[in-house]
Amino acid sequence: MEGVPMGSTDKLLKRLEQLNDIGASLSKEQDITRLLEGILVAAKAITNADGGTLYRMMEDGQTLRFEMLRTDSLQIAMGGTSGSPINLPDLPLRDAAGAPNDSLVAAYAAIHLETVNVVDVYSERNFDFSGTRLFDEHTGYRSQSFLAIPMKSHEGEVIGVLQLINALSPTTGEVVRFSAADQHLAESLASQAAIVLSNRLLMRQLEELFESFINMINLAIDEKSPHTAGHCQRVPELTMLLADAAAATTEGPLASFSMSDRDRYELKIAGMLHDCGKITTPVHVVDKATKLQTLFDRVHLIDTRFEVIKRDVELQALRQQLALRPCVDAQAEADVMANRQAALDSIHADRDFIHAANVGSEAMTESTLQRVREIATQRVWCGPDGIESGFLNTDELENLCIRAGTLTQAERETINYHIVATIKMLEQLPWPKHLRNVPEFAGGHHERMDGKGYPRGLGQEHLSVQARAMGIADIFEALTATDRPYRRGLKLSQAIGIMQTLTATGHIDADLFDIFLHKGIYKRYADRFVAPWQIDEVKP
């Protein structure tokens, strides 16, 4: 560069290289808070400033909010990752009358999209630095040079203001003004940083929109069935607890497993979507609390038939009594009434038995199944049309003969189809690279380690750690949930006992369950999501 001393040129080139390095570093940062902190620290470094403040424009577009503050000589660090909150008031861009608040440097820079370079705040007459002077009085600091730079998005909107305080001479360490070169470099950095920041904010908005869309699907599922309303929220929480514990382990088969922030986000999304296919499951199957329930519990129809049979028994006994009038045989009448009472007792016993069988809380033995069949075939009832019919129709008999639970085989297949629907739905989406495993994570939580699960019959070697963790979370949540229509939630010891059996039979991952049990994951989950009466001692 002609006319520029070689030493000055070298310094300028070095600062430009530093600026490029800073820009590259900022572009890699994904976390908004660390990004903002990096912008402020980099701006201070490139201008050799002692202090600085970063403001963010609030959503109303009329207020600047303090994000972070740094003053090296006073060892002040507030906001960002410092752990110290900023208790300073926001800066309004307009006063109560609606006029521009041009007296404040940061507000002026944001309103007019201009950089403000102040040589000495104590001799400056165009701006109000009373707050700065008050700060100096309390701290013994001497604020002098100021540089306020608006940060603009690619659309020209102000998204923040970068403010630097007290440029220091690299040779003497004295406070000097911010030079033209300092200003240009800081403006260039602010421009780069604004683009990176606006991109990150846009990405965050898109992520929030995406997660809101997922929550909307889950809300639709919850609205269909209040009995599983919290399942889609609880399973992701428990999955993350277990996966984080697995990633933290340093020994055993899972010692090599780890997760980055992106991996954790991917698993979080998979957890949120793991049951999205339930939106296709009929409500009457999801809500089936008893064996005879469809849109209502059909056991009450059977109660009506029992009442009809009781009526017929009563009528027959009365007719027999009338046939014996005038009373010529007291013993015969006594026999009629005894037979009547025996028939009624038998009806009541069968009705109580059908009610008990309908609940489905206990497994049906062969003898109880046979009694259902006998009631279905040996009892008859006469409907309004006067035609006698078998007491139970084919569908009622099939449902009452369910050996365990309340679902028929066809209904179980309908319930199980939700995971097929989940996989189909998720595989239709154009997942970005960092979320491409969501279908596998979400679609594998009903598989078994021995390959006997569904829908694909995948064994442990074909399932990711994340999918296996979600399988454990799904089962434990279901066992301890108190909102199921067909049973109460189990106590911790009962749930763990069942899961130990599932581990021994090759249903769930033994290594992950060992972490789940011995790292106390179930306890941490129970403290947040399990009712106090369910929490008891668990013996590993």
- pLDDT at site 486: 55
Q: Answer yes or no: is pLDDT of 199 > 70.
A: yes
Distance CA 437, CA 441 (A): 6
Is pLDDT above 80 for 127? Answer: yes
Total residues found in the chain within this entry: 540
**534, exposed or middle or buried, with CB in 10 Å at 0-12, 13-18, 19+?**
buried
Amino acid at 456: R
Cβ atoms 469, 249 nearer than 8 A: no
pLDDT category of residue 294 using cuts at 50, 70 and 90 = confident
The pLDDT value given to residue 52: 93
Whether residue 403 contacts residue 369, with contact meaning beta carbons closer than 8 Å, is answered with yes
User: Rounded to two decimals, what is the model's pTM?
Assistant: 0.67
Q: Tell me which residue has tokens 């069968």.
A: 350
Asked if residue 306 lies in contact with residue 477, where contact means CB atoms within 8 angstroms, the answer is: no
Please give the pLDDT value at position 15. 63
**Greatest mean pLDDT range, 194-208, 260-274, 283-297:** 260-274
- pLDDT value, residue 26: 60
pLDDT in tens, 336-365: 888 888 888 988 998 998 888 888 777 888
Among the listed residues 5, 70, 57, 3, the one whose alpha carbon sits nearest the alpha carbon of residue 197: 57
Q: What is the pLDDT of residue 2?
A: 45
Least reliable range by pLDDT among 98-112, 325-339, 452-466: 325-339
How far, in Å, CA of 522 to CA of 526, rounded?
Answer: 6
User: Phi and psi (nearest 5°) for 293?
Assistant: -80, 135
pLDDT of residue 285 exceeding 80, the answer is no
Peptide bond preceding 455: is omega within 30 degrees of 0, i.e. cis? yes
**What pLDDT score was predicted for residue 447?**
93
Please tell me the least confidently modeled range out of 22-31, 211-220, 495-504: 22-31
Lowest-confidence region among 73-77, 82-86, 286-290, 515-519: 286-290
User: With 80 as the cut, is the pLDDT of residue 28 above it?
Assistant: no
Q: Which residues neighbour 281 within 8 Å (Cβ) at sequence distance 6 or greater?
A: 224, 414, 415, 417, 418, 421
Q: Say whether domain 225-280+414-534 belongs to CATH 1.10.3210.10.
A: yes
* CB neighbour burial string for 225-261, b if at least 16 within 10 angstroms, e if fewer: bebbbbbbebbbbbbbbbbebbeebeeeebeebebee
The structure tokens listed for 16 are 């430009």
Answer with the residue of higher pLDDT: 487 or 504. 504
The closest alpha carbon to 465, from 252, 273, 277, 275, belongs to 252
Q: Would you call 169 exposed, middle or buried from its count of C-beta atoms within 10 A (0-12, 13-18, 19+)?
A: exposed
Percent of the chain with pLDDT over 70: 91
Can you give the pLDDT at residue 376?
Answer: 87
Whether the predicted pLDDT of 6 surpasses 50: no
Please report the pLDDT score of residue 19 as a whole number.
60
Assess whether pLDDT exceeds 70 at residue 196.
yes
Give me the phi and psi of 149, to 5 degrees please: -125, 125
Confidence at residue 119, expressed as pLDDT on a 0 to 100 scale: 95
Residue 5 has what pLDDT? 47
Residue 447: which of 430, 479, 472, 481 has the closest Cα? 472
pLDDT value at residue 3: 46
Percentage of residues of the chain with pLDDT beyond 90: 42
Name the residue with higher pLDDT: 11 or 481: 481
Report pLDDT for 413. 75
Query: In this structure, what token pair is assigned to residue 74?
Result: 């006073």
Distance CA 380, CA 347 (A): 12
- The neighbouring-strand residues paired with 389 are 381
Residue 62 pLDDT greater than 80, yes or no: yes
123 DSSP assignment: T
- pLDDT surpasses 60 at 175: yes
Q: What does the mean pLDDT of the chain come to?
A: 86
SS3 content of the chain, % helix, strand, coil (to 5): 55, 10, 35
Q: Which pLDDT score is estimated for 46?
A: 86
Band of the pLDDT at 4, cuts 50, 70, 90? very low
Residue 22 has, within 13 A of its CA and on its CB side, a CA count of 27
Two tokens at 141?
A: 């600091």
On the CB side of 196, how many CA atoms lie within 13 Å of its CA? 23
**Rg, Å, the chain Cα set:** 37
Average pLDDT in the 180-190 region?
A: 87
Residues paired with residue 54 on neighbouring β-strands, in sequence order: 68, 162
For the chain, domain boundaries: 6-203, 225-280+414-534, 299-406
Tell me the mean pLDDT in the region 202-225. Answer: 83
Q: What are phi and psi of 382, to 5 degrees?
A: -110, 115
pLDDT of residue 21: 63
Cα-based distances in Å from 36 to 66, 92, 116, 121: 11, 21, 21, 26
What's the topology of domain 6-203?
Beta-Lactamase (3.30.450)
Query: What is the model's pLDDT at position 1?
Result: 43
Residue 506's contacts (CB-CB under 8 Å, 6 or more residues apart) are 448, 449, 450, 452
pLDDT in tens, 391-438: 888 888 888 888 888 777 877 777 777 888 888 999 999 999 999 999
* pLDDT score recorded for residue 7: 53
Q: What are phi and psi of 78, to 5 degrees?
A: -130, 145
Q: 390: which strand partners? A: 380
Over 90: is that where the pLDDT of 484 sits? Answer: no
Using one digit for the tens of pLDDT, what is the confidence trace for 41-56? 888 988 999 999 999 8
Residue 178 has pLDDT above 90, yes or no: yes
pLDDT in tens, 492-511: 999 999 999 999 999 999 99
